[in-house]
Amino acid sequence: MPVTSVRRRVLLLGGAALAGGGAAGAWWLIAGRDGRPPEAWHAEPIKAYEPGPPHPLWRLTGVAADDAPPPVPLARRVAFAARDGGIATRTVVAGEPGWGFPEADARRGMLAAAGLLVAADAAGAVHALDPRDGEPHWTSYGAAAQRLLTADQFTLYVLTGNGELRAVSLRTGTVLWTRPCPVHPDPARPPQATSAAGRLVVDDATGHVATLDAETGAVLWQLRDLGDGPLTPAIGELAVYLGGPDLLSLGLPDGRERWRERGRPAWGEPAYHDGRVYAHDGTQLLSLAASDGRRAATPVLADETRPVAPAAPVLQHRTACVGLGPDGSQGLALCDLQRGTAAIMPTPGSTAPWLVAGAGNRVFAQSAGTLLALPVV
């Protein structure tokens, strides 16, 4: 049963209450305690990137953990795995200190969902935290989460230490259902997942993909041997898009193939945005029509010497952000989707890859202890 914690989180002093707000219809999720609408926190896109590496909006060194998931934007704050353990937050506008949650084991994942930051501790209990101050809305000790997989508007999906899939209510923390994981729950290469339109899609390192009813956990359809993985699927226009030897578009309700594009040698993780699918085919970052897979006339990014990393591109305004090199450790490319140009952000003097997220017309990137915010066009 979920138990609401009454302990206060660690608040890091010195952070100004700078900005807040998400979609206009949900400002109350992150407004001030007095109920007033928050300040605008979306950044103004720049007109174009100047020659050379892009200039960060702010940069912090020695603050982030090396073995960590990507940062998680939370309207006025961005959360990340802290170098000293747990989760820390900074303001998105200036990088000033916010609250912290030292109990979290960030290696198990953290997600922003339903106006909350969701994280697990070392015992597998899941905590749903208020993004304003880190106060817990609920704690689910029954979640037993080895890894947080994904979330939709109502439900969090986790992989347990026993290799089961478990659904947890984002409103109350109640466990809704538990099912055997239909794909291989390899701890070394755990499944990846995404959820939308009442479906949960999971895939594993062997290319075994399964789609479940998000409400009941029943398996609706599955396909095997789609190639090396696990690669996070994308969902849009009632279709699921999968990387691997081929870039596949499958009907979300029934798994029927809609279109297929060959890779050179393989496709990375796709991203869906505004009627288009963005993915790399081993050497180029391409834009394809979601309806039929038709490629744009020119690639978004083509660099034969530094292939694009497998992680899905992060899209903000008219910028697509991708890692360079087989593991993303050779730099970060910010691609202008309108001009067809790219600005390259080098890694901070190490072989650690950039871990990237985007929100509010900013790109947040983390590598080798450094956390920074970059502008978009």
φ and ψ at residue 14, rounded to 5 degrees = 105, -10
How does pLDDT run along the chain (377 residues), one tens digit per residue?
444 443 333 443 333 332 333 333 333 333 344 454 444 689 999 999 998 999 999 999 999 998 789 999 999 999 999 999 999 999 999 999 999 999 999 999 999 999 999 999 999 999 999 999 999 999 999 999 999 999 999 999 999 999 999 999 999 999 999 999 999 998 888 999 999 999 999 999 888 999 999 999 999 999 998 877 788 999 999 999 999 889 999 999 999 999 999 877 789 999 999 999 999 887 788 999 999 999 998 888 876 667 788 889 999 999 999 998 888 888 899 999 988 889 999 988 667 889 999 999 999 999 999 999 999 99
**Max alpha carbon distance in the chain (Å)?**
57
Q: Which residues pair with 358 in a beta bridge?
A: 363
The total number of residues shown for the chain amounts to 377
User: What does the pLDDT look like over 272-316, one tens digit per residue?
Assistant: 999 999 998 877 889 999 999 999 988 888 766 677 888 899 999
Distances 182 to 185, 219, 223, 248, 339 between C-alpha atoms, Å: 8, 8, 11, 20, 43
What is the pLDDT at residue 299?
85
User: What does the pLDDT look like over 120-153, one tens digit per residue?
Assistant: 999 999 999 999 999 999 999 999 999 999 999 9
Total Cβ atoms within 10 A of residue 367: 25
What is the pLDDT at residue 265?
77
- With a CB cutoff of 8 Å and minimum separation 6, the contacts of 301 are 280, 284, 285, 308, 320, 322, 333, 335, 342
What is the pLDDT at residue 136?
95
What is the pLDDT at residue 40?
67
What is the pLDDT at residue 34?
41
**Residue type for position 357:** A
The answer to whether residues 257 and 246 touch, using CB atoms and an 8 Å cutoff, is: no
Percent pLDDT > 70 in the chain is 88
The residues spanned by each domain of the chain are: 10-375
The answer to whether residues 189 and 230 touch, using CB atoms and an 8 Å cutoff, is: yes
Burial class of residue 61 (count of CB atoms within 10 Å of its CB; 0-12, 13-18, 19+): exposed
- With a CB cutoff of 8 Å and minimum separation 6, the contacts of 121 are 103, 104, 105, 127
What is the pLDDT at residue 348?
81
What is the pLDDT at residue 15?
34
- With a CB cutoff of 8 Å and minimum separation 6, the contacts of 285 are 278, 279, 299, 300, 301, 302, 308, 313, 320, 322, 333, 335
Rounded CA separation 30/41 (Å): 11
- With a CB cutoff of 8 Å and minimum separation 6, the contacts of 286 are 278, 279, 280, 295, 296, 299, 300
Report the CATH fold assignment for 10-375.
Methylamine Dehydrogenase; Chain H (2.130.10)
pTM: 0.87
